[in-house]
Amino acid sequence: MENRNTVQRQLILETMQTMDHPDAESVYNEVVRIHPYISKATVYRNLNLLARKGQIAKVCTSEGADKFDFRTDKHYHMRCRNCGKIFDAPLPPAEDLLEKMGDTNGFCIENFMIEFVGLCADCKK
Amino acid sequence: MENRNTVQRQLILETMQTMDHPDAESVYNEVVRIHPYISKATVYRNLNLLARKGQIAKVCTSEGADKFDFRTDKHYHMRCRNCGKIFDAPLPPAEDLLEKMGDTNGFCIENFMIEFVGLCADCKK
DNA sequence: ATTTATGCAAATCATTTGCACATAG
DNA sequence: CTATGTGCAAATGATTTGCATAAAT
């Protein structure tokens, strides 16, 4: 299970560094301009692989296509219910939430996410 | 836009009261036993309508099919990453999160959700 | 009588998968 | 050389939609 260094994978990773919470489709649209014969399946496969490797993060929101994030540190997001765009939430890491939890009846928490939903500045107009 | 009182809608609402965070498919499987000719589209339409009316809540998770909840008060959920089941999180309403937020750059927050992800007691075995 | 709702099938959207061929190591 | 990756098209899964018919008010 060695990963090889393909031009497609490299390109997708580089492109991710320049984009703000894109979905797979947007990454494809960007990347296809440089590598015209790349397929969408390759983009999906590589975004997922890079996320598994920890080089980017997958942001599963509660509505719309999954987004990808070049930031891999713990933080939270705001999602515009109108245009679907994702923004970073200005909230410091809230690990203390876990301490406030009571008895989880044997449920073992590994991770948590906070999603703020509302209207972004543009859509508010 | 008056809502009519159909036997299907009534049955779906009653069934919801007896189920623990089911998805639309599960509600259908339950309801079809009593009303054999009901269609899945009717179940989807009515679950969405009941949620819009506030009689149940729609729980959009970050993976898997949407779930529905007869509890309509503010609370949070734990999702098992293995079986997908949803459990109520033993966390008191955390409205103070909003106060801890900094400058949102014009993003207007209307709502927020917290999702804990992990392994439920059954899947841990 | 009029409008809302239903059942069915087809459409949609995001994503994944099978497979033959290409390529990295 | 041989395992991993790619491109394509088809499959998938959840959900929605168009439309003719049925039921509620």
Give residue B21's pLDDT.
98
Q: What is the pLDDT of residues A84-114, one digit of tens each?
A: 999 999 999 999 999 999 999 999 999 999 9
| Contact at CB, A110 and B92, closer than 8 angstroms | no
Contacts of B119 in chain A (CB under 8 A): 107-108, 110
Q: Does the CB of B117 have a partner CB in chain A at under 8 Å? A: yes
Burial code (b: 16+ CB inside 10 Å, e: under 16) for A23-57 equals: bbebbbebbeeeeeebeeebbeebbeebbeeeebb
The whole-angstrom distance between B36's CA and the closest CA on chain A is 31
Q: Does the CB of B96 have a partner CB in chain A at under 8 Å? A: no
Stretch B16-25: mean pLDDT, rounded? Answer: 98
Q: What is the pLDDT of residues B56-109, one digit of tens each?
A: 999 999 999 999 999 999 999 999 999 999 999 999 999 999 999 999 999 999
Tokens of B94: 């955390």
- DSSP letter for each residue of B12-49: HHHHHHT-SS-BHHHHHHHHTTTSTT--HHHHHHHHHH
* Residue B6 CB lies within 7 Å of the nucleic strand D: yes
H or E segment and range at residue B108:
strand B108-119
Give residue B1's pLDDT.
62
Q: Strand C: which residues 26-65 of B lie within 7 A (CB)?
A: 35, 37-42, 45-46, 49
| Contact at CB, A108 and B124, closer than 8 angstroms | yes
pTM: 0.94
- DSSP letter for each residue of A7-67: HHHHHHHHHHHT-SS-BHHHHHHHHTTTSTT--HHHHHHHHHHHHHTTSSEEE--SSSS-E
> Would you write out chain A's pLDDT as a tens digit for each of its 125 residues?
689 999 999 999 999 999 999 999 999 999 999 999 999 999 999 999 999 999 999 999 999 999 999 999 999 999 999 999 999 999 999 999 999 999 999 999 999 999 999 999 999 98
